[in-house]
Amino acid sequence: MDSTKKILVVSAHPEPRSLNGALTSFAVEELRAAGHEVRVSDLYAMGWKAAVDADDFPGHAGDGPLDVLAAHERATLAGGLTPDVLAEQEKVRWSDAVILQFPMWWFSMPAILKGWVDRVFTNGFAHGPAVAPPYTGGALGGRRALVSVTIGARESAFSDRGAHGRLADLLFPVQHGLFWFTGMAPLEPFAVYGAVGLPAERFAAAKREYRRRLRGLFTDEPVPFRSLLDDYDRDMRLRPGAEEPGTAGLDVHLRSRRITRTGDVAPHRADDPSLVG
């Protein structure tokens, strides 16, 4: 069918019988039932190596210092990356959308998933002189990206005034710094709060909400980050006056946003009548 898409789900939890494991399985089932092709990178099951090190560069002469940025570019362009990294790059290239499923540990992704990012998104593949400039929709452009995160603490602590910081700000390094940097279009994150010992009825509600988000994977409006080419000067600073009135902090990097009463960003929907009328 024409609407068939390819989705890569990257999952990072050591316990398959966890909430993260359940959400990964749920996403795979839902997406396949909708006619999509799905591949899963279950990082723990794969025994994914987290740390970038000299073993990542079999072609590197051992007598010179290892310059990771340069070695990544050289290995990427010369086909000298290790098979595990090449396999993941092939999956990302194959995909129309990437979903990262992880528990929030210390306000960011678990080390094993950070190691997937560090090792797979190489200079020459996801950024650098050999590909399109950052923040322009190039490099890995045409792909959608969704964070699905479980969080032990309560939602209020991640609101605008929450002690842990606003979720959008905590995830800015992923949403803007990884996805949008490489040209992917990030959607609003899907988060399950209070995820420790989640009661059955809240798990059911989380699945209903996740189903809604998965159905909107290719139709919901992405987070409207700005293009580097349009809105920034040569020093990569936002041009004076370019920000939307009333925005501050990291929100200055949004083209526009609708703000709900609690200050959270409302997910934009392509079928939302307010966007067409």
Among the listed residues 3, 17, 200, 276, the single contact to a second copy using CB under 8 A: 17
219 is a site residue for a second copy (CB under 8 A): no
Say if residues 101 and 27 touch (Cβ distance below 8 Å): yes
111 is a site residue for a second copy (CB under 8 A): yes
118 is a site residue for a second copy (CB under 8 A): yes
Q: Could you tell me the CA-to-CA distances from 134 to 2, 63, 90, 147 in Å, in that order?
A: 30, 33, 20, 20
254 is a site residue for a second copy (CB under 8 A): no
Residue with tokens 């964070």: 147
Among the listed residues 34, 84, 138, 173, the single contact to a second copy using CB under 8 A: 173
Q: Which long-range contacts (CB under 8 A, 24 or more apart) does 27-30 make?
A: 27/99, 27/101, 27/148, 27/210, 27/214, 30/210, 30/211, 30/214, 30/215
Among the listed residues 78, 87, 204, 238, the single contact to a second copy using CB under 8 A: 238
147 closest CA partner among 166, 181, 174: 174
Helices (H), 13-157: 19-33, 43-46, 68-77, 83-94, 111-120
Closest approach, Cβ 181 to a second copy, in A, equals: 8
22 is a site residue for a second copy (CB under 8 A): no
Among the listed residues 164, 211, 255, 269, the single contact to a second copy using CB under 8 A: 164
Backbone φ and ψ for 36, nearest 5 degrees, come out as -90, 160
Name which of 135 and 190 has its Cβ closer to a second copy: 135
Among the listed residues 106, 201, 208, 261, the single contact to a second copy using CB under 8 A: 106
84 is a site residue for a second copy (CB under 8 A): no
Among the listed residues 130, 196, 205, 266, the single contact to a second copy using CB under 8 A: 196
Say if residues 188 and 265 touch (Cβ distance below 8 Å): yes
152 is a site residue for a second copy (CB under 8 A): yes
Name which of 64 and 277 has its Cβ closer to a second copy: 64
Task: Provide the token pair at 33.
Answer: 């039932």
The vertex-126 CA angle with 124 and 129, nearest 5°, equals: 45
The vertex-225 CA angle with 146 and 245, nearest 5°, equals: 130
Q: With H, G, I as helix, E, B as strand and everything else as coil, classify residue 198.
A: coil
229 is a site residue for a second copy (CB under 8 A): no
Among the listed residues 33, 250, 266, 275, the single contact to a second copy using CB under 8 A: 250
**Element at 173 (helix H, strand E):** helix 172-174
Closest approach, Cβ 217 to a second copy, in A, equals: 23
Region near a second copy per CB under 8 A, out of 29-37, 92-100, 186-194, 245-253: 245-253
Tell me which residues touch a second copy (CB under 8 A). Answer: 14-15, 17-18, 44, 48, 50-54, 65-69, 103, 105-112, 114-115, 117-119, 121, 134-135, 152-154, 156-157, 159, 161-166, 169-170, 172-173, 176-178, 196, 228, 232, 235-238, 248-253
